[in-house]
Amino acid sequence: MGLLDKLQTHIETKDTHKNETLRTRYYAASPNAILQWLESQVQSNGQTVRRIDSNRGELSFIGEGWDGLITIVQVDGGRTAVDFTLNREQRLGADLAQIITHYYEALTQQFPLRAIGNKSVER
């Protein structure tokens, strides 16, 4: 990632993101298990949970100078997609991509990873 990427005030993950670290992750777990685990992680990282909508699979949270939305959707019987959207008001501040990477790494330690973007992961 270059300097311009670090100055972005909006960043979101998706299956086809040019940066592999920002591609959607798919885990072998239920959406509710992931949602509950992420809620506790957000709080233990000193961030504030603003809203949880388990019916929509959304967790809204805020950090220092930025806010985020995590979307958790079961796509088939054994895979649940986790996507992030983060925003900040100022050009300079927290590295949004690093925040996403942190959560994806923590999720991968907690739940079996099945795919990154459109590519399956070996078990």
Mean pLDDT by runs of 10 across the 123 residues of the chain is 67 93 95 96 96 96 95 90 94 86 97 92 70
Model pLDDT, residue 6? 66
Q: Please name each of the domains of the chain with its CATH number.
A: 3-117 (3.30.310.50)
Strands (E), the chain: 10-12, 25-27, 48-53, 58-63, 66-76, 79-88, 113-116, 119-120
The amino acid that residue 92 corresponds to is L
pTM of the model: 0.91
Q: From CA 61, how far away is CA 93, in angstroms rounded?
A: 17
Q: From CA 47, how far away is CA 49, in angstroms rounded?
A: 7
Model pLDDT, residue 76? 83
